């Protein structure tokens, strides 16, 4: 299964065929990724990625998660997914990472928007959460750019690099996403009619 983001970027549901490429990408980016992602230091062998994919495929079958690789021009550049889906309450949590050298191109922001659309339209979720390290300002910009609201700080919510870190919890509700889309369409219409407003962006 794939989600098309733009002419170059697609999200593809994770599969064993991605295993080696993901392992090489994680290995190449280990010292940068392990700053914020607790699982990175443990992923020291390709078999561990294989095991993760077996588990993820299982969780996908039961509707518990949708884990994707981000493919840019036929190369895997990172990962994004919706995890810990609570079917009863229609809640899920988005997580993401991208290779260090690929940062700053908007690929995660765009992929996040595509995944959010998928979660609300196809998975019928009502609430999406993103948790970012309280000092991970780069990651916090993703929910802030995507219309999420900051809700709270989860104190010592994660054990990373031999310390507990606080996490900022952001959420987006289905009703807010609909308003956000309407605002986007209205601004497009206004901008088309009024060249002086052409710089406005939602």
Ligand X SMILES: CC(C)(COP(=O)(O)OP(=O)(O)OC[C@H]1O[C@@H](n2cnc3c(N)ncnc32)[C@H](O)[C@@H]1OP(=O)(O)O)[C@@H](O)C(=O)NCCC(=O)NCCS
Chain contacts with ligand X (rule: CB under 6 A): 33, 36-37, 96-98, 103-110, 132, 136, 138-139, 142
CB atoms within 10 A of CB 163: 8
CB of 194 to ligand X, least distance (A): 23
Distance CA 175, CA 195 (A): 30
Candidates 38, 35, 100, 99; CA nearest to 69 is 99
Which residues contact residue 96 at a Cβ distance below 8 angstroms, ignoring those fewer than 6 apart? 78, 79, 80, 81, 108, 111, 112, 139, 142
> Which residue, 17 or 138, is less far from ligand X as judged by CB?
138
Q: Which tokens hold the place of 159?
A: 């054990």
CB of 88 to ligand X, least distance (A): 25
> Which residue, 97 or 120, is less far from ligand X as judged by CB?
97
> Which residue, 87 or 198, is less far from ligand X as judged by CB?
198
Chain position whose Cβ is nearest to ligand X: 106
CB of 187 to ligand X, least distance (A): 16
> Which residue, 72 or 87, is less far from ligand X as judged by CB?
72
Cα 87 from chain centroid (whole Å): 19
CB of 61 to ligand X, least distance (A): 26
């Amino acid at each position: 299964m794939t989600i098309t983001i733009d002419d170059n970027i697609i999200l593809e549901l994770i599969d064993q065929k991605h295993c080696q490429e993901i392992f090489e990408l994680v290995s190449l980016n280990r010292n940068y990724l392990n700053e914020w992602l607790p699982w990175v230091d443990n992923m020291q062998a390709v078999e561990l990625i294989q095991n993760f994919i077996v588990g993820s495929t299982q969780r996908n079958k039961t509707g518990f998660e949708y884990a994707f690789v981000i493919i840019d021009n036929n190369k895997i550049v990172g990962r994004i997914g919706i995890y810990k889906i609570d079917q009863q309450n229609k809640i899920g949590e988005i997580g993401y990472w991208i290779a260090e050298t690929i940062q700053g191109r908007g690929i995660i922001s765009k992929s996040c928007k595509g995944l959010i659309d998928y979660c609300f339209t196809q998975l019928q979720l009502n609430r999406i959460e993103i948790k970012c390290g309280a000092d991970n300002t780069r990651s916090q910009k993703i929910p802030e750019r995507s219309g999420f609201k900051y809700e709270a700080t989860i104190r010592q919510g994660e054990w990373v690099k031999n310390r507990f870190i606080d996490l900022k919890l952001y959420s987006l509700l289905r009703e807010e996403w609909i308003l956000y889309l309407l605002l986007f369409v209205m601004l497009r219409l206004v901008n088309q009619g009024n060249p002086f407003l052409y710089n406005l962006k939602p």
